[in-house]
Amino acid sequence: MNAATAIQVQDLSKRYAVGRREQAPATFYEALGGLLTRPLARLRELAGTREAADTFWALRGVSFEVGQGEVVGIVGRNGAGKSTLLKILSRITAPTEGRAVLRGRMSSLLEVGTGFHPELTGRENIFLNGAILGMTRAEIARQFDAIVAFAEIERFVDTAVKHYSSGMYVRLAFSVAAHLDPDILVIDEVLAVGDAAFQKRCLGKMRDVARAGRTVLFVSHNMAAVQALCTRALYLKNGRVALDGAVDRIVDAHLGDTTDTLGQPLDARTDRSGDGRLRFTGSWIENAAGERMPSLVLGKTGTLCLAYEAFTDLEDVFVAFDIRDGNGEPVTNCNTADTGRDFARVAAGRGVFRCALPRFPIRGGRYSGNIYCAARGTVADFIVAAHEINVEDGDFYGTGSLKNGCRVMLEQAWRCDPAPEGST
């Protein structure tokens, strides 16, 4: 590892057990028996007698280097190993094989609220996170006002973070990660919780970090953000590095991969992320009368319906979906936070999230969409290229004219006012 290298990953692999859960022994004799039989079980595993189906390799033989000051995007479908890789780099979990060497202090934002204590206030959590990073109290204090201002939580800085909304959580978590002078900044796909203005500010802050000569690893399904921010990208597929190189080439490969999933039933999709407390099970479109329709129609009211199953009661539930064109570029995003209507409580069981779209303004064509749900700031379910959205052209303005070649129609009200007498 030379002086110009910030991250060196060599033959990194991570294996998880599938379908087995270690249970604590009920008695002393069970514990003693376990100690005696565990070596034999380990020998059988090494000899290959344990069924291969018992294990799953989230990463296999991953190797790459990142230079100091490089901004590298990491892309791939859900389940490709992106989050596992970042957890290993952040020392949250250990690799099964291989090693990862990092030079400098790392600040990571892998999941909203990671490293936060829910009973502590925002102020106390800022100092706690700084201490975890090895900073002195004086160093944290110098950045404190900037952290609070960027997160826009001045009124709530002395409130316990368990009372924060998902938007407040992510604003504070990102602000802490980005402002505490890290040598390496690692950001996973958590910015989807923030609104568009905050996402723009986050990208600007990451650019500032990169210009200061620090290293950035950025995991995102937003290909426009990856292209705008990153100078290089890694494409993970099935736990391996499929491509490493120019951003445009990686983005093209990723978009071609995600289109293969369109049309698959949501309840059968395995390439999803989140803790699984809620899972999307289906999606469809309804017209104003509540009837299922194959398409949205330009100028007509339509409702996008997202069926779900919640496995426990959830609070402060944020739901979002976006609409993307054939190149994967976002056309628009709809989410509960923008309208100020995060769901205070979603009861365990099956249900449907419905988002009404009055006078749907997007021109005809075939679009795709990602869907996302978080509860108390923690991702519950996130599916990329979750569904295909067909849109039919319609008479948006009621004039019989469809000559407007733009993608989005806007409500318009024109008038002509004569200039006041004596004006120039």
Selection from 204, 326, 366, 352 nearest residue 266 by Cα: 352
Q: Is residue 387 within 8 Å of 368, Cβ to Cβ? A: yes
Ramachandran bin of 308, using left for φ above 0, alpha for ψ from -120 to 50, beta for the remaining angles: beta
396-408 confidence digits (pLDDT tens)? 887 766 556 678 8
Query: What single string gives the DSSP state of each residue in 285-317?
Result: EEETTS-EESSEETTS-EEEEEEEEESS-EEEE
Domains of the chain and CATH, by start? 5-17+54-259 (3.40.50.300), 266-392 (2.70.50.60)
Burial 36-51 (b: 16+ CB within 10 A, else e): eeeeeeeeeeeeeeee
List Cα–Cα distances, 304 to 76, 202, 348, in angstroms: 26, 29, 22
- Give me the pLDDT at residue 28, please: 42
Please give the structure tokens belonging to residue 127. Answer: 């100092």
Distance of CA 127 to the CA centre of its chain: 25
Tens-digit pLDDT string for the chain (424 aa): 666 899 999 999 999 876 544 444 444 444 444 444 455 555 555 555 444 456 788 899 999 999 988 999 998 877 788 888 988 998 888 999 999 999 888 887 776 556 688 899 999 999 988 887 777 889 889 999 999 998 889 999 999 988 887 778 878 888 887 787 788 888 886 555 556 677 778 778 888 888 888 899 988 877 777 888 888 999 998 899 999 999 988 887 877 665 555 567 888 888 888 899 999 999 999 988 888 888 888 888 999 999 999 999 999 999 999 998 876 778 888 999 888 778 999 999 999 999 999 999 998 888 988 999 999 888 899 998 888 888 888 878 877 665 566 788 888 888 888 888 877 6
- Give me the pLDDT at residue 29, please: 44
The phi, psi pair for 148, rounded to 5°, reads: -65, -40
Q: Is residue 258 within 8 Å of 328, Cβ to Cβ? A: yes
Burial 317-334 (b: 16+ CB within 10 A, else e): bbbbbbbbeeebebbbbb
Query: In angstroms, rounded to a whole number, what is the distance separating the alpha carbons of residues 384 and 370?
Result: 5
Query: In angstroms, rounded to a whole number, what is the distance separating the alpha carbons of residues 233 and 245?
Result: 6
Query: In angstroms, rounded to a whole number, what is the distance separating the alpha carbons of residues 353 and 305?
Result: 6
Query: In angstroms, rounded to a whole number, what is the distance separating the alpha carbons of residues 64 and 244?
Result: 8
Query: What single string gives the DSSP state of each residue in 352-405?
Result: EEEEEETT--BPSEEEEEEEEEEETTEEEEEEEEEEEEEEE---TTSSS-----
pTM above 0.85, yes or no: no
Residues 6+ apart with CB under 8 A from 227: 247, 248, 251
- Give me the pLDDT at residue 97, please: 93
Please give the structure tokens belonging to residue 393. Answer: 């052209």
Query: In angstroms, rounded to a whole number, what is the distance separating the alpha carbons of residues 401 and 326?
Result: 25
Query: In angstroms, rounded to a whole number, what is the distance separating the alpha carbons of residues 120 and 128?
Result: 9
